[in-house]
Structure 1
Amino acid sequence: MARGNTRQRIQDVALELFAEQGYEKTSLREIAERLDVTKAALYYHFKTKEDIIAGIFEDLTRPMDELLAWAAEQPRTLETKQEILRRYQKALLAAAPLFRFMHENQATVRDLSIGLTFKEHFLALNEFVQEPDSSVKDRVRSVSAIFTLHAGTFFTQNAEGDPEEQQEAVLEVALDLIQQAHRA
Structure 2
Amino acid sequence: MPRARSGDTKARIQAVALELFASKGLQQTSLRDIADQLGMTKPALYYHFASRDELVRSLAIPLIDDMTAFLAGLEASPADPRELLGAYFDVTYRHRVLLQVAIRDLSVLQQMDLTDHVFDWRRRIVALLIGPSPSLEHQVRGMVALGGLSDCTVAFEDVDVDELRTAAVAAAYDALRPGVQGMSAQGMAP
TM more than 0.5: yes
Match of 1:167 among 165, 174, 180: 165
- Once the two structures are superposed, residues 126-156 of structure 1 have per-residue CA deviations (whole angstroms, 9 ceiling, x without a partner) of 2211224555554444333322312322331
| Cα contact 2:93–2:154 (8 A) shared by 1 | no
* Structure 1 spans left out of the alignment, 5+ residues: none
| Cα contact 2:122–2:143 (8 A) shared by 1 | no
Q: Secondary structure at the match of 1:5?
A: helix
Q: Secondary structure at the match of 1:183?
A: coil
Quote how far apart the aligned CAs of 1:6 are: 2.1
Partner of 1:146: 146
> Which structure features the higher share of helix residues?
1
Partner of 1:183: 189
- Once the two structures are superposed, residues 64-84 of structure 1 have per-residue CA deviations (whole angstroms, 9 ceiling, x without a partner) of 110111111124x6x2x3332
Partner of 2:131: 131
**Structure 1 residues 107-116 or 51-60, which shifts more?**
107-116
Quote how far apart the aligned CAs of 1:163 are: 4.1
TM-score by length of 2: 0.78
Q: What is the rounded CA distance, in whole Å, between the counterparts of 2:22 and 2:133 in structure 1?
A: 43
Quote how far apart the aligned CAs of 1:14 are: 0.7
**One-letter amino acid of the counterpart of residue 20, structure 2:** L
Match of 2:9 among 6, 10, 35: 6
Instruction: Report whether the alignment pairs 1:122 with 2:122.
Output: yes
- 1:146 to 1:109, Cα distance in 2 relative to 1, 3 A: closer
Q: What is the rounded CA distance, in whole Å, between the counterparts of 1:62 and 1:111 in structure 2?
A: 17
Instruction: Report whether the alignment pairs 1:93 with 2:93.
Output: yes
Match of 2:66 among 63, 67, 90: 63
| Cα contact 2:149–2:169 (8 A) shared by 1 | yes
CA RMSD of aligned residues (A): 2.6
Q: What is the rounded CA distance, in whole Å, between the counterparts of 1:18 and 1:155 in structure 2?
A: 17
State the percentage of identical aligned residues. Answer: 28
* Number of equivalent positions: 176
Quote how far apart the aligned CAs of 1:111 are: 4.8
1:26-105 paired onto structure 2 within 5 Å: 26-75=29-78, 79=80, 81-105=81-105
